[in-house]
Copies of this chain bind each other. A is one copy, B any other.
Amino acid sequence: MTQTPVRFGLIGTGRIGQVHAASIAAAPDATLAWVADPFIDGANAVAAKFGGTATASAEELISAGAKGEIDAVLIASPTPTHVDLIEASVRAGLPVLCEKPIDLAIARVDALRPLIAESGIPVALGFNRRFDPDFKSARARVAAGEIGDPEQLIIISRDPAAPPADYIKVSGGIFRDMTIHDFDMARFFVDDIVEVHATGTRAFDPGAREHGDFDTAVTTLRASSGAVVTIINSRHSAIGYDQRIEAFGGRGMLQVANAPTSLVSLSTAEAVEAKPAYGEFFLERYAEAYSAELGEFIKLVRGEASTSPTFEDGRAALILADAAQRSATEGVAVAVDLGA
CA distance A332 to B203 in the complex (A): 22
* Alpha-carbon distance A271/B223, docked complex (angstroms): 29
Q: Could you give, for residues 248-267 of chain A, a 1 whenever the CB lies within 8 Å of some chain B CB and a 0 otherwise?
A: 10111111111110111111
- In the complex formed, the residue of B with least CB distance to A245 is B264
Q: Name the segment of A63-71, A93-101, A194-202 touching the other chain.
A: A194-202
A278 in the interface, Cβ–Cβ < 8 Å? yes
Docked Cα-Cα span, A265 to B271, in Å, equals 9
Contact of A274 among B151, B225, B274, B332 (CB under 8 A): B274
Beyond A199-B220, A204-B250, whether A232 also contacts B154 by CB under 8 A is yes
The answer to whether A239 touches B272 (Cβ under 8 A) is: yes
CB of B238 within 8 A of CB of A252, answer yes
Q: Does A226 contact B (CB under 8 A)?
A: yes
CB <8 Å contact, B226 and A203: yes
Q: What are the residues of chain B within 8 A of A154 when measuring CB–CB?
A: 154, 156, 232
Q: With contacts A228-B201, A230-B230 known, is A256 near B267, CB below 8 A? A: no
Contact indicator A199/B195 (Cβ below 8 Å): yes
A143 part of interface (Cβ distance < 8 Å): no
Q: Which residues of B contact A260 (CB under 8 A)?
A: 260
| In-complex Cβ contact of A230 among B137, B218, B274 (8 A) | B218
Alpha-carbon distance between A145 and B260 when the two chains are bound, in angstroms: 23
Asked if A228 meets B199 with Cβ closer than 8 Å, knowing A268-B277, A272-B277, the reply is yes
Are the C-beta atoms of A226 and B230 separated by less than 8 Å? Answer: no
| Docked CA distance A191–B332 (Å) | 24
Is A134 an interface residue, CB under 8 A from the partner? yes
Q: Given A204-B226, A332-B332, are A141 and B271 neighbors across the interface (CB < 8 Å)?
A: no
In the complex, A263→B129 CA distance in Å? 14
Given contacts A134-B262, A199-B195, A332-B333, contact A253 B239 (CB under 8 A): yes
- Which chain B positions have C-beta within 8 A of A253? 239, 266-267
A7 interface residue (CB < 8 Å to B): no
A164-180 with Cβ < 8 A to chain B: none
Does A275 lie within 8 Å of B264, measured CB to CB? Answer: no
Q: Provide the residues of chain B in CB contact with A220, threshold 8 Å.
A: 197, 199, 218, 220
Pairwise interchain contact B195-A197, C-beta atoms closer than 8 A? no
Residues of chain B within 8 A (CB-CB) of A137 are 262, 264
Q: Compute how far the CA of A61 lies from the CA of B198 in the bound complex, rounded to whole angstroms.
A: 50
A159 to chain B, nearest CB (A): 13
Determine whether A23 belongs to the interface, using a CB cutoff of 8 Å to chain B: no
* Chain A interface (Cβ < 8 Å from any Cβ of B): 133-134, 137-138, 141, 146-149, 151-152, 154, 156, 158, 195, 197-199, 201-204, 216-218, 220, 222-223, 225-228, 230, 232, 234, 236, 238-240, 248, 250-260, 262-278, 331-333
12 contacts across the A-B interface (CB closer than 8 A) = A137-B264, A152-B216, A199-B220, A199-B228, A199-B333, A202-B226, A218-B220, A251-B268, A252-B267, A252-B269, A267-B277, A272-B277
Q: A195-B331, A271-B277 are in contact. List 12 more A-B contacts (CB 8 A).
A: A137-B264, A146-B266, A197-B199, A197-B220, A199-B333, A203-B226, A238-B251, A238-B252, A238-B269, A239-B253, A258-B272, A332-B333
The 5 closest A-B pairs by CB, nearest first: A252-B268, A203-B226, A331-B333, A274-B274, A271-B274
